[in-house]
Amino acid sequence: MPDKRYALVIDSRKCLDCKACVVACRAENHVPLGYSRNWINEEHRGTWPKLLAAFEPEQCHHCTNPSCVRVCPTGASFQRDDGIVLINEADCIGCRYCVVACPYNARFFREDKGVVEKCTFCVQRVDRGEMPACVETCPSKARVFGDITDPDGKLQQLLATREYRLKKPETGNGPQIYYLI
């Protein structure tokens, strides 16, 4: 386990804004309507006929130095050795400090349960050797999930051959979603 580090590479050019990932996440993780663990940012630029519509999926970045874990007063937010950031609901008191501290607004407060939730990289599936639901369902294969420390893995291959960017690296969180450009 400790020599693994899960990360996500997203080829935003392949994203069609079909939102299958959002639906798959909702179904897999029983996320009620009104909340979302993942979403798609839309950007429209220019005027007709020179138009650009760009789509960029986003969710928890499972940062290497997650500010949400640091500020959590009870240790409910924690990071596994493989990099996945999780919330132990039994210890979450619903103070929402982590929601405020996340630069990506990836966390939300469940009014009905009184606890905070977010993307878990579908840890229940990953531990069975499967892909997260959003990755498996993406029809245009915009999402690639895997172990970023594996030198022969798909992630290293993509990051070595394509330009990529990270979101808001200046916060020092060390985000682990790589956007290919």
Q: Could you list the residues that contact other proteins (CB under 8 A)?
A: 67, 70-76, 91-97, 99-103, 105, 109-111, 113-116, 168, 170-173
Kindly tell me which of 97 and 164 has the beta carbon lying closer to other proteins.
Answer: 97
Q: Give the span between the Cα atoms of 123 and 145, in whole angstroms.
A: 12
**By C-beta, is 103 or 153 nearer to other proteins?**
103
Decide whether 109 or 164 has the Cβ nearer to other proteins.
109
Which 3 state secondary structure label does DSSP give 180? strand
Taking the complex as a whole, how short is the minimal distance between the CB of residue 124 and other proteins, in angstroms? 23
Looking at the Cβ atoms of 132 and 175, the one nearer to other proteins is 175
Cα distances (angstroms) measured from residue 113 to each of 7, 107, 109: 29, 14, 9
Q: Residue 84 CB, nearest distance to other proteins (Å)?
A: 20
Give min distance, CB of 69 to other proteins, in A.
9
- In SS3 terms, 54-68 reads as EEEEEECCCCCCCHH
**Least Å from the CB of residue 155 to other proteins:** 25
CA 177, 117, 137 angle in degrees (round to 5)? 50
The alpha carbon torsion through 15, 11, 107, 78 (nearest 10 deg) reads: 150
